[in-house]
Amino acid sequence: MAAGEYLDYLAVERGLARNTIAAYRRDLTTYCAYLERAGIVSFEEVTRQVVEGFVADRRDGGYSDASVERALAAVKGLHAFLVRDGAVAQNPTAALRLPKKAERLPEYLSVEDVSALLDQDFPEGEMGLRDHAILEVLYGCGLRVSELVGLDVGDIHIDDGFVLVRGKGSKERLSPLVGSAARALMLYVTEGRSRLAAHARGTETSAVFLNKNGRRLSRQAVHAICERYGRQVGLVGLHPHTLRHSFATHMLAGGADLRVLQEILGHADISTTQVYTHVDRTQLTEVYLAAHPLAHR
């Protein structure tokens, strides 16, 4: 019950995204099962050692550092909530720190790779128009895949040069829509979408990107589209998020202001955007080592 109330609090009061809530639900279900196996029937009985044992159990189970960190964050949040709610007197996780994340630079494509991906021959007809528009908008607007599939027709303002995006926590922002991304999207919306929408049976949808049955396209379908067209130009295993990372990296390399980039990407914290400065520095170092005559002395 307490875990359920905490998840409701995260959804209603904190406005966390559904995917985050679902992940926390899985983590807390696993945590409660661990407590039950340990013979603990009340959260009052939980000690710091018990929580550390849970973390060790996750590590021994072969879970990644990111998964363990997320699980511990969920557990810490739960116990803090229980104290605030007056359900327990002490928080056994108060002195526990989240493990420091190993810095992992995001993968991104070169400008040449992006050009090869977007300039390839797409199939004729509505599916080809849709797939081309998807890839163009993912890269051209720097969208998350969930934001892309969540777009409605009313969110598209091609004449004004922007698209209304609903990001994490249902926060809205404007993303510029110009150039080849705007042209590909306009071509799909005016010539391709109506053909796909005609396949819908009974219920109409306001979604921009539709599947062959005229319904809103799923995230899994977008993953498959990226993988398929990436493979055709030698980019095996291409992920939609790689296009978002490529957008951010290329914008920063082109002189974009970090605060502006933060706004376009929908990052709540500037530190999330700053990771791309590290990517750019890495690129600069590689160029230096390759070009400077005394770099390897």
Q: Cα dist. 295→103, 236, 281, 284 in Å?
A: 25, 33, 16, 13
244 annotated active-site: yes
Q: Which of 166, 168, 216, 223 is catalytic?
A: 168
Q: Using the structure block, give the residue that is written with the tokens 């699980």.
A: 71
The rounded distance, in Å, linking the Cα atoms of 151 and 216 is 9
- Residue 45 is classified by DSSP as G
The active-site residue, picked from 70, 79, 130, 244, is 244
Round to whole Å and give the CA distance between 264 and 258. Answer: 10
Residue 276 catalytic?
Answer: yes
DSSP for 93-158 reads TTTPPPPPPPP-PPP---HHHHHHHHHSPPPSSHHHHHHHHHHHHHHHHT--HHHHHT-BGGGEET
Judge whether 6 counts as a catalytic residue: no
Phi–psi pair at 269, nearest 5 degrees = -120, 130
> Is 168 a known active-site residue?
yes
Which entry of 6, 108, 139, 276 is annotated as an active-site residue? 276
From 144, 193, 245, 250, active-site residue: 144
> Any catalytic annotation for residue 79?
no
Active site annotation includes 24: no
Q: Compute the 3-state secondary structure of the chain and give helix, strand, coil in percent, each to the nearest 5.
A: 60, 5, 35
- Which residues have a catalytic role annotated? 144, 168, 241, 244, 267, 276
